[in-house]
Amino acid sequence: DGGITQSPKYLFRKEGQNVTLSCEQNLNHDAMYWYRQDPGQGLRLIYYSQIVNDFQKGDIAEGYSVSREKKESFPLTVTSAQKNPTAFYLCASSNHGQPQHFGDGTRLSIL
């Protein structure tokens, strides 16, 4: 079955540590996205990529970094500069103008 796989499902970060969240899709979608979901705030866009080797900042990119070396992969790194990283992170993919398909999410917590 085609879909989006996010791993791990739960992740814990120590102070000052960078962590990387994985997102892989086998839907052959050109565009991929990372969102952060916080209670009462809905989904906020962190980064998105419309094509391999290119990506743009979303609304809350500070403290995060991404890469898009392969079409099917769009990993997100939460750096130590992100002061409030505890959240639920969602990855999505789509083709131009089409609805986005979402992964199951990664819940990141601080130790």
User: Which residues in this chain contact other proteins in the complex, by CB under 8 A?
Assistant: 31, 33, 35, 40-45, 48, 50, 58, 90, 92, 94, 96-97, 99-105
- The answer to whether 9 touches 106, Cβ cutoff 8 Å, is yes
Question: Least distance from C-beta 85 to other proteins, angstroms?
Answer: 20
Residue for token digits 């130790």?
A: 111
Q: Please state the closest distance from residue 43 (CB atom) to other proteins, in A.
A: 4
Closer to other proteins by Cβ: residue 6 or 82: 6
For other proteins, the closer CB: 72 or 88: 88
> What is the β-pairing status of strands 54-57 and 42-51?
antiparallel
CB of 90 to other proteins, least distance (A): 7
**At its nearest, how many Å lie between other proteins and the CB of residue 40?**
7
Question: In this complex, which beta carbon is closest to other proteins, that of residue 18 or of residue 26?
Answer: 26
Q: Which is nearer to other proteins, 18 or 57 (CB)?
A: 57
Greatest alpha-carbon pair distance for the chain in Å reads 39
